[in-house]
Structure 1
Amino acid sequence: MNSKICPRLDLVGTSTKSKDTISKLAESFRTTTSTLLSFIFPLSFLLLAKLTTARFLLTFGRIQTMSFLASLFLNQTPLVLHMLISLITIPALIHNLTGLARLTNKPTSPVRPSGAKLLGMWILLCTFQVCVGIGIEGSMATGMGVVDFDGLEGYYSLGKLCLLFFFVGLHETTRYWARMVVRPVVDDTFYGEGIKEETWVERVGVAVGFGGLWWCRMRDEVESLVFVVRWKKELLMEIGMADMFGWLLYYLTMVIGMVRVLNSLSVVGRRLFIRSRKEDIDRFGNDLEDNV
């Protein structure tokens, strides 16, 4: 095995077997780190939904009065999260609308980002991590848990189809986040040069982890981003910028899911059409041979 697989490790003076063992451990740790950091984005979406719910319930006295620091946390954290999530969601939407998502799924030669771009990725990743960490600590301190919206008057679900599109869109955006931000930072830390191609272990790990997070928590809370705006509109209440940004991000993510589903259906339909045409041509050729 090439000793340059992890140049940040000093393997000088070790045997070949030891080098292989260290390289395998480093690769396993890199894969685990990359997979775990990929979950920061869906966790930030979950945190945004929980903050939206808490601010809404605080207005109607459904939760206990909070301290000044807790109130400051509820009012200021969503603004930062909106900005950060928008920096990923909008490029992911453009990425899918322009058809680039199909191109990036094909094997390509890894290219190391430039210094300024890599620094921006580091800053973005660290900012996401700090915000999510503070958000988790703050939600535990304020006692925010899962809220059952079915018990609130005027609540109605968006429907299974909308949730399906949002699920696909959020998963696609999470993959975009992992591919464009997480992996370049992690690979630069471990390898120092080039970007390693995504492995099937990473894809399966992200898919399974995202599915578990969705099933356990997100499917019961993400609709609050839409429900709060509709509820305030029906009550003729003032809709804040934070509420509108959350509503917009939800539907942008849902559009990403719709585009992804339509792209997948078009690929399947095109392949079926090509296969059927090929079978017709083969059948026509066989008929000609029989007539001759």
Structure 2
Amino acid sequence: MSIVGGGKWRREAEQLLVKPFRLLTTTLLSLLLPLSFLLLSRLSSASFLFSLIKSPPQTDSSFFFSIFHYTNPAITYAFVSSISVYTLVLGLTTKITSTDPNRSIPFYPHVSIAWLTLFLVQISVGLGLEGTYPDGLIIGSERNFLSRLVFFFGLHEVMLLWCRVIVRPVVDSTLMGGDAGHHRREETVVERVALAVSCGTLWWWKLRDEIEALVGVAEAKRALLLLLPINGNNANGSFEVGTVDFVNWWLYYMVVTIGMVRIVKGCLWFGMVLLFEQGSRRSPRGVSTASPVHYDDEGDTKV
């Protein structure tokens, strides 16, 4: 009995330690997605600033730094674009009445692929933010509160998918064993609140101003091309809207579209709940709709 009691106490102690650690680890790793948007906005601001002062950034001549300088933005763009497109497709194709969010996700990568993706994103975002300026250059016209709110909803939706598809399988397989990543456990209210609070805090602290550089740089370049005269030497070539500027603009408005889809689906879900609630109140509780059929089977002529 003492051995059984000791094993039960040990399992309870492990649960008390594992659950808070799993919640903290999942929340921190989920913040890599909004930090990826912050990295892209700072890279866009720095590129535009260097084009204004006509001074190339100071780079190290080492082989490692040169490889990282060219591959880091590519990895971040590929990751952010893939997870954003997947979120938009799921938002447009899934049903509103889905109770478990994990059941509406048809594709989960293998745990090893999730491990590799998480590792690459963490290295890229960590080293990328370390090499950028702490205060980003805010460029472009300031968006109103409604536009920022819609973008925040879209960013939170993309962050939730990143957490469900990549972060949680990696954390569960590490803490619970190798097969835990294949068995999707249901999200708790505490986990959802922690993700929402962490994303909202990061948004209010850094993202709400710096993230607008994704579209502000393209708008500023267009304005400069219209204001500055064009000469034969093509001096305004550095102010032309390039592929990176278009991708940033596309990512920003795709996240806005995801936020609009989430708001519309939330309003529809709330309306359906109200309609079902009113219908249940109007129908009498003690009457069964199958009773007339029962009477007909027994030969009763009553209506």
- Provide the TM-score with structure 1 as the length reference: 0.79
1:95 to 90, 93, 97: 90
Of 194, 210, 213, 1:224 maps to 213
SS at match of 1:235: helix
| Cα distance change on mapping 1:144 and 1:77 into 2, 3 Å | farther
Matched, 1:81 2:80: no
User: Could you say if the C-alpha distance between residues 136 and 101 of structure 1 is closer, same or farther in structure 2, counting changes exceeding 3 Å?
Assistant: farther
Is 1:130 the equivalent of 2:115? no
Query: For the structure 1 residues 104 and 47, does the alpha-carbon distance in structure 2 shift closer, same or farther, using more than 3 Å as the test?
Result: farther
The verdict on how the C-alpha distance between 1:241 and 1:32 changes in structure 2, with shifts beyond 3 A counting, is same
Contact 2:33 2:159 in 1 (8 A): yes
Cα distance, 1:158 vs structure 2: 2.9
* Corresponding residue number in structure 1 for 2:257: 255
Q: Is 1:164 aligned to 2:159, yes or no?
A: no
Indicate the SS of the match to 2:36.
helix
> Alpha carbons of 1:55 and 1:102: their partners in 2 closer, same or farther (altered >3 Å)?
farther
Aligned residues: 262
Larger Cα-atom Rg:
2
Q: What does residue 292 of structure 2 align with? A: none
CA distance in 2, matches of 1:94, 1:117: 20
Aligned-pair CA distance for 1:164 = 1.2
Structure 2 counterpart of 1:39: 31
- Quote the offset at 1:197 in angstroms: 2.0
Distance (whole Å) between structure 2 residues aligned to residue 85 and residue 209 of structure 1: 19
- Percent identity for Structure 1 against Structure 2: 35
Q: Distance in 2 between matches of 1:102 and 1:239?
A: 42
Q: 1:102 to 1:53 in 2, by over 3 A?
A: farther
Report the secondary structure of 2:163's partner residue.
helix
Distance in 2 (CA, whole Å) between partners of 1:82 and 1:248 is: 11
Paired residues of 1:54 and 1:144 also in contact (CA < 8 A): no
Structure 2 Cα separation of the partners of residues 246 and 66 of structure 1: 20
> Cα 1:112–1:225, aligned 2, differ >3 Å: closer, same or farther?
closer
Q: Any idea what SS the aligned residue of 1:167 has?
A: helix
CA contact (8 A) 1:226 1:247 kept: yes
Matching residue of 2:169? 184
Paired AA for residue 134 in structure 1? L
The 8 Å contact of residues 78 and 242 in structure 1, kept in 2 or not, is answered as no
Given the superposition, is the C-alpha separation of residues 205 and 278 from structure 1 closer, same or farther in structure 2, using an over 3 Å criterion? closer
Q: What is the letter of the counterpart of residue 227 of structure 1?
A: G
| Counterpart residue type for residue 266 of structure 2 | S
Q: Which deviates the most, 207-216 or 267-276?
A: 267-276
Q: Secondary structure at the match of 1:211?
A: helix
The alignment partner of 1:103 has SS state of coil
> Alpha carbons of 1:124 and 1:76: their partners in 2 closer, same or farther (altered >3 Å)?
closer
Q: Does 2:160 match 1:175?
A: yes
Shift of 1:129: 0.5
Rate the CA distance shift 1:260–1:33 in 2: closer, same or farther, 3 A.
Answer: same
Q: Which runs of 5+ in 2 are unaligned?
A: 226-238, 288-303
Hey, what's the Cα distance between the residues in 1 that align with 2:107 and 2:211?
35
1:66 is matched with which residue? 57
RMSD: 3.2
**Which SS does the other structure have where 2:110 is aligned?**
helix
Match of 1:195 among 166, 174, 184: 184
Distance 1:101 1:60, change over 3 A: farther
Gaps of 5+ in 1: 1-10, 150-154, 286-292
Q: 1:34 to 1:144 in 2, by over 3 A?
A: closer
Q: Distance in 2 between matches of 1:190 and 1:126?
A: 17
In structure 2, give the amino acid aligned to 1:29.
F
1:231 shift after superposition: 1.4
Structure 1 residue 249: Cα displacement:
0.6
1:30 matched to which residue of 2? 22
Q: Deviations over 1:126-147 (max 9, x none)?
A: 11101011112212xxx34133
Which residue in 2 is equivalent to 1:5?
none
User: Is 1:204 the equivalent of 2:200?
Assistant: no
- 1:145 match: 135
Give the 3 Å change call, closer, same or farther, for CA 199–215 of structure 1 in structure 2.
same
